[in-house]
Amino acid sequence: MIAKAVYIWDISPGQTIQDIFLLAEARNGQSRNGPYWSLQLQDSSGQMEAKVWSPLSQQHPNLAAGQVVRVRAQAATYRDKCQLTIDQLAVVDAAEVDLTELLPPSPVDPEVLFAEIEALCRRELTHKPWRALMKKILGDEEVHARLLAATGAKTVHHAYAGGLLEHTLAVARTCLALADLYPRLDRQILLVAALLHDIGKAWELTSGLACDYTDEGRLLGHIELGLSVIEPFLAKAKDLEPGLALHLRHLILAHHGEYEFGSPKLPQTPEAFILHFADNIDAKMNTIAGAYAEIEGTEQNWTPFQRYLDRYLFRAPHTPEPEKPAAPQPGREASRKTEPVDKRFLLLPLGSD
């Protein structure tokens, strides 16, 4: 078994690296000096861009995502990020490598996340047709297996096994929190839609070493795939009111919010707006967390440029937590002065003038 010597998060400019990595991406390009490869190398600590220039690139015409490679490379700074220039490369048999060293770990066991989703349904879904629908969908063997392995995206957010379940659970909790603020919302359909809005990603993307788009994913996309997954279950849900089933379809179709973001429909109900914003919030927060992780343990306050957010991010100082009061000395009571309550400043119920 080939062991790793250094992880991506430990690489800094000026180092010479000799180690194994997973190819997360492999794109061929053409420069004035000949063809080159633009690679994304990956291990369990993250990803890093690497270049293979001619003539070495011509010795490896068939590099592809999912391959394991052994490289020797020089690390340098390019556009505020550490990048590798590879001068030796060999494809390695994946059977010779401990894959846990190359795949990003899920922060939480996917089975635990799945169980939390099931518990959420039992606790929140009081309308029997909704509860029955979710029990059928989550109890399906193929759905269960695919959701456990599915990533939340190819590269942008939650890009690890179990990432889709993590994202789904976070969106569901955000929707429920917003439903508490706006009680006129249909809380139960919001929960069902949050749990199903991205289910098509389990068919859009492959799992395992090569996290890439399937043919169906490229041709149809996860929104259309998601509807095709749940339609057979909706067809058998005879007790579910047709109006609720129609609204659920709309929520899934409209959750990207805007045509420019690939949404087939614009949100046309309050619940559709809430689902779109909850989905967007969680995706952005996960992306930002990943950006901050790049500068964790350093004195930097600015992240490298974030291509998907089109900006640099600043790590702002946090407001200090209040100091804990000292424990009263034995035999002495802590003196406490009780001030009268000024009722003018009591919080009014939501919606009050």
**What tens digit of pLDDT does each residue of 53-104 get?**
999 999 999 998 888 999 999 999 987 789 999 999 999 887 788 777 887 7
Nearest to 145 by CA among 199, 220, 71: 199
Q: What is the DSSP string of 130-161?
A: HHHHHHHHHH-HHHHHHHHH--S-SSSSS-ST
Which residues, other chains included, contact 53 with Cβ-Cβ below 8 Å and sequence gap of 6+?
A: 31, 33, 34, 36, 85
> Global pTM?
0.69
**What tens digit of pLDDT does each residue of 275-294 get?**
999 999 998 998 898 889 87
DSSP-derived pairing of the beta strands 68-78 and 46-52: unpaired
Q: What distance in Å separates the CA atoms of residue 343 and residue 179, rounded to the nearest whole number?
A: 28
Q: Report CA Rg, the chain.
A: 25
**What tens digit of pLDDT does each residue of 167-224 get?**
999 999 999 999 999 999 999 999 999 999 999 998 887 765 556 678 888 899 899 9
Provide the 3-class DSSP secondary structure of residue 253. Answer: helix
Q: What distance in Å separates the CA atoms of residue 315 and residue 143, rounded to the nearest whole number?
A: 39
Which domains occur in the chain, in start order? 8-101 (2.40.50.140), 110-291 (1.10.3210)
Nearest to 312 by CA among 302, 297, 298, 324: 302
Task: Please report where in the chains the tokens 């997954």 appear, as a residue.
Answer: 229
Length of the chain: 353
Nearest to 263 by CA among 202, 197, 213: 197
**What tens digit of pLDDT does each residue of 14-35 get?**
999 999 998 888 999 998 889 9
Residue 8 has what DSSP assignment?
A: G
Instruction: Enter the tokens of residue 141.
Output: 């063997």
Instruction: Please give the angle made by the CA atoms of 85, 87 and 91, to the nearest 5 degrees.
Output: 105
Q: What distance in Å separates the CA atoms of residue 52 and residue 38, rounded to the nearest whole number?
A: 7
Q: What distance in Å separates the CA atoms of residue 18 and residue 6, rounded to the nearest whole number?
A: 8
